[in-house]
Amino acid sequence: MSHRILLLPGDGIGPEVVEQARRVLVATARVFDLDLIFDSADLGGVAIDRHGDPYPESTRLLARQADAILLGAVGGPKWDTLPAAQRPERGLLAIRSDLDLFCNLRPAMLYPQLADASSLKPDLVAGLNLLIVRELTGGIYFGEPRGVETSADGVRRGFNTDVYDETEIGRIARLAFQFAQKRNGRLCSVDKANVLEVTMLWRDIVTEVSAEFPEIELSHMYVDNAAMQLVREPKQFDVVLTGNLFGDILSDTAAMLTGSIGMLPSASLNAESRGLYEPVHGSAPDIAGAGKANPLATILSAAMLLRYSLDEGPAADAIEAAVEHVLNAGLRTLDIASSSADAATTEAMGDAVVAAITSLS
């Protein structure tokens, strides 16, 4: 069976890191005898430049046909002065919404080889391995009404709406419980139920769904406390379930715990497990085109793509093992190297992972 993979290189370092991940996928396909068909399209700033739209129709058509999508990153200073509705980030929000990618998985795990990179004390983060499950197509990011308006007396007023219905909460909660089943059986749901009605409903629905998963240990935490606990004792968490805005914030904190945001992959899935996979890091325009970017987050995103959308677990395992192998061998891109003199280029890192896949399998 063939699988269609759409590449969306995007902006900044996106094209460089996606290219290395594509090479790794091609090498993996050869070893595991997979039939992968690649397409490529524009999203973000590059799409604004070429099509006048951050999520153009040509991209939408290919995205809807794809079994899975691999994205680099979007955005950069070039487009920062555009009005909100025309910015590269809107392309990302539009594709999430168009494909109903409501389930965002953001694992944060500390590679023992990189323990020194964390800004927290090594014993607080050694062995850290948590999963943030962020609702991605609802909440205040998409709620209506929204806007900035000027009243009759000339005073401007900005507003957004935080809204979730019970269906949206129930479907993401169910998936989070299922992920907890495959992990250590603990789920912490993060809300602000002491203040916000929408998250009071969130807490009620998550509690209702928990009846279907009696073996999972469910806890609830207010978001301010969760932010504190993440930097105080991060290993208390296994799966963290939360809404769109809180998930945006807490996932950056969780990423930083590992000290190497250049290592972290993510997946955004819909109900049919079709998904968009992207590194957690951004477009890093300051180093774009310089061969300095770490491609491992995108390569690990490609592994998630094989696991979750193509159901090719062994091929995903092989990529993750190859990444471990190159780290053990001491290869480091600039972001994780101890000195710039020792840093490997983006391409050299890609070469090493490709070689490891071929030799280990």
CB-nearest residue to ligand IPM:
89
Q: Which stretch binds Mg ion (CB under 5 A): 117-125, 130-138, 242-250, 287-295?
A: 242-250
> Segment 252-271, which members bind Mg ion (CB under 5 A)?
none
Catalytic residue (one of 11, 192, 277, 292): 192
User: Is 292 an active-site residue?
Assistant: no
Whole-angstrom distance between the N-terminal and C-terminal Cα of the chain?
A: 21
Angle value at C-alpha 315, between 312 and 317, nearest 5 degrees? 110
In whole angstroms, the minimum distance from the beta carbon of 282 to Mg ion comes to 8
What stretch of H or E contains 81?
none
Instruction: Tell me the window of 64-72, 231-239, 245-253, 342-350 that interacts with Mg ion (CB under 5 A).
Output: 245-253
Q: Residue 241 or residue 326: which is nearer to Mg ion going by CB?
A: 241
Burial of 217 (0-12, 13-18, 19+ CB in 10 A): middle
Verify binding: residue 278, Mg ion, rule CB under 5 A.
no
Q: CA-to-CA distance for 353 and 344, rounded, in angstroms?
A: 12
Residue 135 interacting with Mg ion (CB under 5 A): no
d(CA 53, CA 95): 12
Assess 248 for contact with Mg ion (CB under 5 A): yes
DSSP state of 343: P
**Window 59-98: residues binding ligand IPM (CB under 6 A):** 89, 92-93
Q: Buried b vs exposed e over 269-303: b needs ≥16 C-beta within 10 Å?
A: bbeeebbbbbbbbbbbbebbeebbbbbbbbbbbbb
Residue 265 preceded by cis peptide, ω within 30: no
Q: Cα Rg for the chain, rounded, in angstroms?
A: 20
Nearer to ligand IPM, 300 or 327 (CB): 300
Q: How far apart are CA 98 and CA 137, in angstroms?
A: 9
Active site residue 192: yes
- Identify whether 277 is a catalytic site residue: no
Active site residue 141: yes
- Reading the block at residue 200, the tokens are 């009071």
Between 82 and 355, CB nearer to ligand IPM = 82
d(CA 266, CA 270): 14
Question: Active-site residue among 165, 204, 224, 311?
Answer: 224
Q: Which is nearer to ligand IPM, 92 or 172 (CB)?
A: 92
248 is catalytic: yes
Residue 92 touches which of ligand IPM, Mg ion, none (Cβ within 5-8 Å per kind): ligand IPM
230-259 residues near ligand IPM, rule: CB under 6 A:
248
What is the size of the binding site for Mg ion (CB under 5 A)?
1
Catalytic residue numbers?
141, 192, 224, 248, 252
Interacting residues toward ligand IPM by CB under 6 A: 89, 92-93, 248
Interacting residues toward Mg ion by CB under 5 A: 248
